[in-house]
Amino acid sequence: MATGSAREEFDPQTLRDDDFLLKPSSDLHTPSTRAAGITPVGTQQTQGYRVQIGAVLDQGRAEDLHKVARTQFRAPAYVFHDVQTRLYKIQIGNGETAKDVGHLRAEAKGLGYREAFVVRTRIEVSSDPVKRPSKIQGYRLQIFSASSQQAADQAHAKARQALQRDDIYVEFEPPFFKVRIGNFRSRKSAEAFMKTVVASGYDTPFTVETMILVSPE
CA 200-204-210 angle, 5° bins: 100
Give the full edge-to-edge strand order of the sheet including 77-82: 28-29, 117-126, 43-56, 87-95, 77-82, 34-35
Residue 32 has pLDDT above 70, yes or no: no
Residue 33 has pLDDT above 60, yes or no: no
**Confidence at residue 96, expressed as pLDDT on a 0 to 100 scale:** 87
Q: Any idea which of 4-8, 106-110, 135-139, 188-192 has the lowest mean pLDDT?
A: 4-8
Backbone angles phi, psi at 86, to 5 degrees: 65, 20
| Residues 141 and 122 occupy one common structural domain | no
Burial of 62 (0-12, 13-18, 19+ CB in 10 A): buried
Q: What is the DSSP letter of 216?
A: -
Domain assignment of residue 202, given as a range: 134-214
The answer as to whether 3 is a domain residue is: no
Residue 132 near residue 86 (C-beta atoms within 8 A): no
Total count of domains within the chain = 2
Each residue's pLDDT tens digit, 77-123 = 999 888 888 999 999 999 888 888 888 898 888 888 888 999 999 88
**Confidence at residue 216, expressed as pLDDT on a 0 to 100 scale:** 66
Burial of 72 (0-12, 13-18, 19+ CB in 10 A): middle
| Residues 61 and 25 occupy one common structural domain | yes
Mean per-residue pLDDT for 19-42?
Answer: 42
Q: What is the dihedral of CA 160, 164, 165, 166, to 10 degrees?
A: 60
Pick the most confident of 1-5, 20-24, 30-34, 206-210.
206-210
pLDDT band for 166, please (50, 70, 90 cuts).
confident
| Residues 119 and 158 occupy one common structural domain | no
Closest among 100, 120, 104, 119 to 172, alpha carbons compared: 100
Mean per-residue pLDDT for 168-174?
Answer: 86
In this prediction the pTM is 0.51
Residues in the chain: 217
The answer as to whether 4 is a domain residue is: no
| Residues 56 and 122 occupy one common structural domain | yes
Residue 195 has pLDDT above 90, yes or no: yes
CATH code where residue 179 lies:
3.30.70.1070
Cα 172 to Cα 68: distance, rounded to the nearest angstrom: 32
pLDDT band for 70, please (50, 70, 90 cuts).
confident
Mean per-residue pLDDT for 4-8?
Answer: 34
| Residues 52 and 35 occupy one common structural domain | yes
Domain-ending residue, one of 127, 158, 176: 127
**Confidence at residue 4, expressed as pLDDT on a 0 to 100 scale:** 34
Q: Any idea which of 34-43, 75-84, 89-98, 186-195 has the lowest mean pLDDT?
A: 34-43
Domain-ending residue, one of 110, 127, 144: 127
170: left (phi over 0), alpha (psi -120 to 50) or beta: beta
The answer as to whether 2 is a domain residue is: no
